[in-house]
Structure 1
């Protein structure tokens, strides 16, 4: 699962929880339950405008227990640490946000391409290759030069050697030429799905990895 997918799922869950909480507060504040004659279960929060979210009994139920405050502090610490980690992951990127494009025959003109646009172009050019089922491409920072990392899943019976040749002469060569680079190192990771036998299916297919210089 990609980082963007995880972000969408987390944001969707948080949005649903906040929406539900907001509707509870709104219904209680407007005294909708009484007006609609709703029969609420015992302990339902915000049943009336003058009722707090948590009753006094609920707020003080465990305060005298020795484990209560350490548990509260530990829970809040984990929440803050998780939020800080998530923020760090969002801000950290292993590759450049943009990359310069050559402008032969012109002076004073600078062109820069979004890295994600280049990655999408490479994915589009790779997924149409023979026996390719799925592909993900990242542009990483190398030692003073960009480097590709491509993860490819082949259809059952796919040949990794043929994929390496097609990737080298196709998407990778096109990207290198477009960027005006003499070399564009690539780390190509492949997974070949098993043809069908139950034993092979349980093993999850063959895996391969190739570095292209």
Structure 2
């Protein structure tokens, strides 16, 4: 969901900047100003003396400006953190049974889960990645199934096989998983 919001937001910001920048460039190069443009000539300044000092004496103006800029700054920082945040789990805390714990690389557990899911009958391709916290990981798995495979049987084989093995080998009480099933399309080939 965040990926879609991010792309739509960046697309809209890019479109607005492209339209404004293109119109400023066109007016600056001598093209006639569009009807919606705030100035009428290429020699007009962006903010005149009267526009810059119009609200200076009002007591509400500067607190509102500062509040709006602070909100915009917080929104920009939130967006930056959400974009830069790691999507994958770097390590998983494994219970060793002696009161201590061991750390296993998240990619290693993902690779094992992917390979074991790929060995299930009727699974053409598989991909797994882990999210969540290192003490409570969550698996996100995509399985590409052959056309003749029953999706329920493939899902049952995955949950009783690969997912259960990953959960027990890591010593986790539970390993919630989101599994997305997709059918593989084979293209017809010419037979001689």
TM-score class, shorter:
0.5 to 0.7
> Which residue number in structure 2 is paired with residue 139 of structure 1?
131
Q: Flag the 1:62–1:40 CA change in 2: closer, same or farther, 3 A.
A: same
Which one of the candidate residues 160, 183, 186 is aligned to 1:169? 160
Cα distance in 1 for partners of 2:62, 2:80 equals 27
Which one of the candidate residues 72, 83, 93 is aligned to 1:79? 72
1:52 maps to 2:51: no
State the structure with bigger RCO (CA 8 A, min sep 6), 1 or 2.
Answer: 2
Cα distance in 2 for partners of 1:168, 1:72 equals 55
> Which residue number in structure 2 is paired with residue 12 of structure 1?
11
Which one of the candidate residues 85, 91, 97 is aligned to 2:84? 91
The answer (yes or no) to whether the contact 1:45–1:54 under 8 Å persists in 2 is: no
Q: Give the root-mean-square deviation of aligned CA atoms.
A: 4.6
TM-score of the two chains, using structure 2 as the length reference: 0.55
> Which residue number in structure 1 is paired with residue 25 of structure 2?
26
Which one of the candidate residues 58, 63, 67 is aligned to 1:65? 58
Cα distance in 1 for partners of 2:175, 2:6 equals 27
TM-score of the two chains, using structure 1 as the length reference: 0.50
Q: Deviations over 1:133-175 (max 9, x none)?
A: xxx97433433xx722459xxxxxxxxx99984551366258x
Q: Deviations over 1:87-142 (max 9, x none)?
A: 2222333643589xxxxxxxxxxx995999999999x9xxx99xxxxxx9743343
Q: CA deviation at 1:62?
A: 2.1
Q: How many residues align?
A: 150
Q: Flag the 1:112–1:187 CA change in 2: closer, same or farther, 3 A.
A: closer
Gapped regions of structure 1 (runs ≥ 5): 100-110, 130-135, 152-160, 191-213
